[in-house]
Each structure stands twice: as C-alpha cells, then as structure tokens.
Amino acid sequence: MTQSPPAAFDLADMTWPPPPYQSPVPPVTDTDGVRRFDGVTYATTPGYRPRLLDVLTPAGEGPFPAVVWIHGGGWLEGDRRYPPPTVPAALLHGAVLAAGLALVSIDYRHSLEAPFPAQLHDVKAAIRYVRRFAGVFGIDPDRIGVWGESAGGHLAALAGLVGPDSRDGAALEGTQGVGSGDTGVLAVVDWYGVSDVVAAAEHPMPQMPGGADFPNPYEALLGAGAAERPDLARAASPVMYVEGANPPPFLLVHGTRDGLVPYSQSEILAAALSGAGGEVILRPVVDADHIFLGAPEIAPIVEESVAFLTRHLGAKA
C-alpha cells in the first residue's frame, strides 16, 4: 500500500535536478546581538558534498561590510569553522565583529575531490551568493573583502586578481551556485599564500611528523606535477594576473622562516603588485614558520589585518 506524503510536504515545491544552491537558513541571535547563519548551502554539484558557509553579523544596524574568510590546509583539508591552531577562533571572529565587519567563513572543494580551478570556482560562487542574499544577511554587497591563510591566502589572492576580463577569466569565474554576477572585492589579506605555483612546487616539502604519508599538495591541486602541467600551474599562480589587473589593496603577512611556503612567495607578489601600481603592504613576521609558529604574539597580526580591512571596506574604526 502506497502511503501519502505527510501533510506538511508539498510536491509542488520540489524541483529536479536539485537547485544549485539553497536559500539562507534562519539566523540565530546570540545574547550579545550577533546574528549567526550556520551551515548555509551556497553551491551544490552532483557527486560532491554541498559547499557550506557561515555568516556572522555584528550587533546593531546594517548593512555591514563583509570579509570572506578562506581556510588553509594545502588545498587538501581544512574546515571553514577552524582557523589555524595558532589563531584562536574567538580572537579572529571577535576582532572582525568588533570592527563592525560581517564574517563569512566558507568551505570549498579539496583538491582530491576536484583539481584546480574548482577551488577558485567555489570562492567565486560564495562571493556571488553573499551578494545575491546580502539583504537577508544584512551585508553591504558593495563592500566585500577576502582574507585567507596558506591555501586560503592563495585563493584570496586569486579572488582579488582574477576577473571576467583576465586571461581565461570566464573559465576561472565558473558557474557554480549563483551562476553569474559580480565577484570583485575591495581588499585582500593574504597570510603566507603561494603566489607562483611553478616556483613553489620546486621547493622541497618538509618531512611530515612520524613519517606520515601526505599527498604532495601541488600534484593534488593540479592533478599532476607542475612540470607535467605547466599551463595549469601558471593559471593557478596569482602573480600571473597582476599585470593589467587594476588590483585592489593587498596586505601580505608571512613568516620569514616559513619552511612550507617560502617567504619569497610573498616577496614575488608584492614586487609584482607594486610594479603594476597597486597598493601593497608586505609584513614580515620575523623568524616565524608556517601558520606563524614561533611568532611571539598572534593578536597584533590579527589586529593589523582587521585594521587593513576596516580601512578599505569603510567599517567603523
């Protein structure tokens, strides 16, 4: 015997194939007035996990400028909810909200799920989604910046430099989620990201603790070695898009003893941006390794990054 659908279920509301994104979930308001939209599906693709984002908006009247946070993890791992272990989430989130900025934390497809440019497609899709639902979130769609660390720093730099008019721009914009729309940003904070994939792939990878088997991140990102896919390696390199890009302001923060992504990677990008007439600040963290290991204090690094975004996105002082 066939059962009827529950009364609350309306077949007329169903679509097939499933929609490429979902509308925002209802927010939860904390006791301090911060509104939280948790686990919003900004893009779906058959065969892949849904891509999710969280939105935190400050207490008070919006619309607020927003920063899109992009996690690291060698493009192989990581989670929108967790900054690197050296940076407490309460510090990062609290500093952003206290400055009058909304925080959008995003997941993206890892490289063993899909090679480049899938990761950039997802970042672009998240930016389109935030603009599409800016009124729901209480965000100003004209004041969006990006901030990422490690692999996320690389993707933030690409998001700031790649547009529809870039070389292969249409292919790099992608059509995930909200399939079209503006993905430009007003400012970029890049913590120790790769800027030249070809050069970075030649840098020896450090030994993993206990001899753990970890995929080569560049081979996973490209689907092969950089020498085997030189065109894709160049396409994945932010420095390749600086010339003629009219870049937004950049803050590059990098440990001078980074054994995973050499400090020279940020020097290369800073030089290119400066040569193109862009505004760029290169901030060395003396004697710090990757994820700022060895830095005497993390709070000043976060504070400078938030102040940079506040200045360029027009948030309150």
**In terms of pLDDT, which residue wins out, 29 or 245?**
29
pLDDT value, residue 205:
78
Q: E strand or H helix at 91, and its extent?
A: helix 89-98
Measured CA to CA in angstroms, residue 7 lies from 3, 11, 305 at distances of 11, 10, 51
* CA 152 to chain CA centroid, nearest Å: 5
pLDDT at 138 over 90: yes
39 and 25 Cβ atoms separated by less than 8 Å: yes
- Write the pLDDT tens digit of every residue in 264-283: 999 999 999 999 999 999 99
Q: Confirm if 96 and 103 have CB atoms less than 8 A apart.
A: yes
Q: What's the average model confidence in pLDDT over 242-255?
A: 95
60-69 residue pLDDT tens: 998 999 999 9
* pLDDT > 70? residue 108: yes
Using one digit for the tens of pLDDT, what is the confidence trace for 144-184? 999 999 999 999 999 999 999 998 888 999 999 999 999 99
Mean pLDDT of the chain: 93
To the nearest whole percent, how much of the chain has pLDDT over 70? Answer: 92
| Token output for 187 | 């400012």
Comparing 109-123, 161-175, 196-210, which segment has the lowest mean pLDDT? 196-210
Task: Check whether 1 has a pLDDT greater than 50.
Answer: no
